[in-house]
Structure 1
Amino acid sequence: MTDTVVVIYSGGMDSFTLLHLARAQGHNVHALSFNYGQRHVRELDAARAVCEAEGIPHKVIDIRAMSEVMSGSALTSDIEIPEGHYEEDNMKATVVPNRNMILLSLATGYAVTVNAQAVWYGAHGGDHAIYPDCRPEFVEKMDAVCRVANYEPVAVKAPFMTLDKGEILAEGLKLGLDYGQTWTCYNGREKACGQCGSCVERLEAFAAHGIKDPLAYERGA
């Protein structure tokens, strides 16, 4: 019997790779995206386009009404997007309070409704420095809770937990993925900024493989 998994799919590079990895492993995939008031909401357009082209069931859940309990981040509030690498202290401004606990809880409910055995999300090794809800101990405890929160146990998995962005890109290149179909930049402008932490990490990954990122950048590429 083929397992069904819900993939939390932002439209970014990591979740794009995760989505296709789940399909390559033979899982029946349901993609779930969230509009939580993020500046880079255009990532959802990328997610919609991919799922439509690939015939993947896709839901976008609007949770902007919860913005008052997820405020104070540069991604959701009127705070300047910091520039630099994720390991720099100023990048803590991009932390959205309790985001992944909220999203995983909603995704677990959706998993029960579609008879999915697991929820996958794209936390990875490069996130550990500043994002508490992307660290191994968080995933372990969310997994334990979600297995007992309903009559039907739902596992929480982060298959990229030990990988950095370059290693994730390597997985996607093996699958022949087109990263021009993704959006990573924290700024939702016409072109990626090339300076925010998300862009910097992405560009480093492509440079490490000696290939050019297919996205258009304002600067820094």
Structure 2
Amino acid sequence: MTDTVVVIYSGGMDSYTLLHLARIRGCRVHALSFNYGQRHVRELEYARSVCETQGIPHKVIDIRAMSEVMSGSSLTSDRDVPEGHYEEESMKATVVPNRNMILLSLATGYAVTVGGGTVWYGAHGGDHAIYPDCRPEFVAKMDAVCRVANYEPVGIEAPFMAMDKGQILAEGLRLGLDYSQTWTCYNGRERACGRCGSCVERLEAFAANGVTDPLEYEDSR
């Protein structure tokens, strides 16, 4: 029987690759996106477009009412988005309090609703330095909790946990994916900034694979 998987789909590179990987593995995929007041809400436009084109069931859940318990991050407030590499101390300003625990909990409820046995999300090795909710120990404990939170056990998986963004991109290129259909920049402007931590890591991934990023950048790189 085909497994049903809920993929938390932001519209970015990692979740885009994950979404297609699940389909290629023969899973019945339900994509779930969240509007939590992120300044880069433009990523949801990309998520909608991909799911409509591919015929993937897609829900966008508005949880902006929870902003008071997820505040203080440069991604959800008027604070400037720091520039530079993810491993720099300043990138802690991009941490949204308890974001993945909240999103995974909601995705687990949705998985029970649609008969899914697993929730996938795109945490990867490059996230570990800054984001506690992308580390192996967090995934292991969320998996344990979500398996006993309902009558129907739901597993939590992060298939890219041992990979960096360059390796994820390499996998996607091998699958023939089109990364012009993704949005990564933390600034939700017309073009990607090329300077925030998310852009820097994306550009490094493309450089490591010897290919050109199809997105347009503000500095016309």
* 1:155-203 deviation per Cα after TM superposition (whole angstroms, max 9, x unaligned): 0000000000000001100110000000000000000000000000000
When normalised by structure 1's length, the TM-score is 0.99
Question: CA separation in 2, counterparts of 1:87 and 1:69?
Answer: 25
Conservation of the 8 A alpha-carbon contact between 1:195 and 1:219: no
C-alpha separation in 2, matches of 1:106 and 1:156 = 12
Partner of 2:47: helix, strand, or coil? helix
Deviation readout 1:97-129 (Å, 9 max, x if unpaired)? 000000000000000000000000000000000
State the Cα deviation string for residues 17-43 of structure 1 (Å, max 9, x = none): 000000000000000000000000000
2:180 corresponds to 1:180:
yes
**Is residue 93 from structure 1 mapped to residue 84 from structure 2 by the alignment?**
no
**What is the aligned partner in structure 2 of residue 15 from structure 1?**
15
2:146 matches 1:166: no
SS state at 1:110 partner: helix
Match of 1:111 in 2: 111
Report what 1:127 is aligned to: 127
Whether the 8 Å contact between 1:195 and 1:220 is mirrored in structure 2 is no
Answering whether residue 68 of structure 2 is matched by residue 54 of structure 1, we say no
SS in 1 for 2:102: helix
Local SS of the residue matching 1:149: coil
Matched, 1:152 2:152: yes
SS of match in other structure, 2:7: strand
Distance 1:175 1:48 in 2: 21
Whole-angstrom distance in 2 between the partners of 1:219 and 1:86:
20
- C-alpha separation in 1, matches of 2:150 and 2:35: 25
Return 5+ residue gaps in structure 1 as ranges: none
Provide the rounded CA distance (Å) in 1 between the counterparts of 2:216 and 2:176.
20
Secondary structure in structure 1 of the residue aligned to 2:40: coil
> Where in structure 1 do 4 or more consecutive aligned residues deviate above 2 Å?
none
Q: Quote the offset at 1:219 in angstroms.
A: 1.9
Which residue is 2:26 aligned to?
26
Q: CA deviation at 1:220?
A: 7.2
Q: Distance in 2 between matches of 1:74 and 1:95?
A: 8
Q: CA deviation at 1:71?
A: 0.2
Aligned to 2:200: 200
Question: What 5-or-longer segments of structure 2 have no aligned partner?
Answer: none
Task: Determine if contact 1:19/1:29 at 8 Å carries over to the other structure.
Answer: yes
Aligned counterparts of 2:203 and 2:193: Cα–Cα separation in 1: 11
1:122 aligned counterpart, secondary structure: coil
Aligned to 1:215: 215
Deviations 1:60-112 (A, max 9, x none): 00000000000000000110000000000000000000000000000000000
Q: Secondary structure at the match of 1:33?
A: strand
TM-score relative to the length of structure 2: 0.99
1:11 and 1:182 in contact (8 A); partners too = yes
Counterpart-to-counterpart distance in 1, 2:209 and 2:169: 9
